[in-house]
């Protein structure tokens, strides 16, 4: 059962990552928030690749 839950989370992360990539902001403050959010997503995705 855990595998299915993990796969769902992995798919959610990929979807969020794609959304962030398509909506990259141009302002400094917005870019900081974007970078932080993207970093968190990439960090969690890295756990799935190990």
- pLDDT exceeds 90 at position 40: yes
> How is 2-49 classified by DSSP, letter by letter?
HHHHHHHHHHHHHHHHHHHHHT---SHHHHHHHHHHHHHHHHHHHHHT
The pLDDT value recorded for residue 2 is: 61
pTM for this one?
0.81
pLDDT in tens, 19-38: 999 999 999 999 999 999 99
């Amino acid at each position: 059962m855990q595998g299915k839950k993990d796969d769902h989370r992995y798919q959610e992360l990929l979807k969020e990552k794609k959304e962030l990539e398509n909506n990259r902001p141009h302002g400094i403050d917005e870019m900081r928030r974007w970078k932080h959010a993207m970093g968190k997503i990439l960090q969690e995705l890295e756990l799935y690749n190990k």
